[in-house]
A = this chain, B = another copy of it.
Amino acid sequence: MPKRDREATRARLLEAARLRFAREGYDATSVRDIAGDAGVDATLIFRYFGSKKRLFDEVTADLPAGLPDGLPDGPEEELVARMLRAVVFHDWTRYGGEHPLVAMLRSSAHDDARQRMRQEVCDTYVDALRDLAEGDGPELRAELLSAWLVGIGILRSVVATPALAGASADDLAPHVEAVASALLGRPMRGTPSSEG
């Protein structure tokens, strides 16, 4: 492994940018901050990415493709419970401790960020939930459920509402069950059966 490793440096910059953009948003993050975190010179950002904007694009382009592992696996009636765990209790340390979608809200003044968020929400959550909805307007039902998941993520990690911030996944389970069943029009389970 050479001391001067272009790819390694690029990766360190990407990782540092990911964290900064997530924690503080696009505008509040400076290229010097990112380079400082990565332990390299700020100029390399322009060498490797062209501009701050393009670095942001590259960071937000490869979101974790929603929830990488195990989201579609398991019984349908536990999908929402798995989603909630993935949204709220997954280890998002690479994104400042918050779900990437929640973090990206900080940069939502930029239209690109909005588009990426919409695409991410629709492709990852709404698409998966729509197939579960019974009755009229499965799209709207799926979006309303997605809104709940997003809202929980925000109230937990950003607003830090007292009860939600201190709640465990098991505390939420019965409510997940109730709401998901009510919205999807079919019985749902609040706890993945892998638990206890």
Contact = CB atoms under 8 A, between A and B. Distances in A.
A7 B152 CA distance: 41
A39 interface: no
- The count of identical subunits is 2
Interface in A22-48: 23-25, 27-28
Contact of A151 (B142, B151, B171): B151
Contacts of A149: 151
Nearest to A151: B151
A24 B110 CA distance: 8
Interface residues of A, number: 47
Nearest to A160: B118
A11 interface: no
A99 interface: no
Contacts of A178: 182-183
B105 A161 contact: no
Contact of A106 (B109, B137, B146, B175): B109
Contact of A105 (B122, B158, B182): B158
B162 A139 contact: yes
Contact of A140 (B150, B163, B181): B163
Nearest to A25: B109
